[in-house]
Amino acid sequence: MQDRVEQVVREFVARVKPEAGEVTVETPLYADGVGLDSLEAAELSAVLEDEFGTDPFQGDTMPETLNDIVSFYVTA
């Protein structure tokens, strides 16, 4: 599961933010990290929902890193 989640997120980042370079599990998704804006985060949320049926952005705490997203699915 973890590998699949990481693959989906990295493919998404490679498409919308090719300039972001390598994304580790600790790279911040926004601002100085990957640099996703709110609409790109919204798009990632839809991609994850399509792929896994649920979406970590639906919760109270917004995921800040790839690790947060992985944790959402692994602990779900």
Partner 1 sequence: MIEFLRRGAQTRPERPAVVTHDLTVSYAELLAMAEGAATALSELGADRIALADHEAAPVIALMAAAAATGVEVCLLPPDGAEQVLDLVGRFDHTVVVTDRDDLPESALPAGVRRVGLAGLLATPAQSAPGDLPAHRPHLVLTTGTTGAPRGVRHDWGRLVRSTAHVQPAGDEHWLLCFGLHQFAGLQVLLHVLAAGATLVAPAPRRPREGLAAMRALGVTHASATPTYWRFLLAELRADGGPVPQLRQITLGGEAVPGPLLGELATTFPDAHVSQVYAASEFGSTGSMRDRRAGLSTAVLERGEDADVALKVVDGELWIRSRTGMVGYYGEPDVDAEEWRPTGDLVAVEDGRLVFLGRSSEIINVGGVKVHPLVIEERIGAVAGVDVARVYGRRNPMTGQIVAVEVVASAGADTTAIDAAIRAACADLPSASRPRSIRFVDEVSTTGSKIVRREAP
Give the binding site for partner 1 (CB under 8 A): 37-39, 41-43, 45-47, 50, 55, 57-58
C-beta of 6 vs 30, nearer to partner 1: 30
Q: Residue 28: beta bridge partners?
A: 65
Shortest spacing between CB 12 and partner 1, in angstroms: 11
Q: Which residues of 18-39 are buried (b: 16+ CB within 10 A; e: fewer)?
A: eebeebeeebebeeebbebeee
Shortest spacing between CB 9 and partner 1, in angstroms: 15
Shortest spacing between CB 72 and partner 1, in angstroms: 13
CA gap 26, 39 in Å, rounded:
21
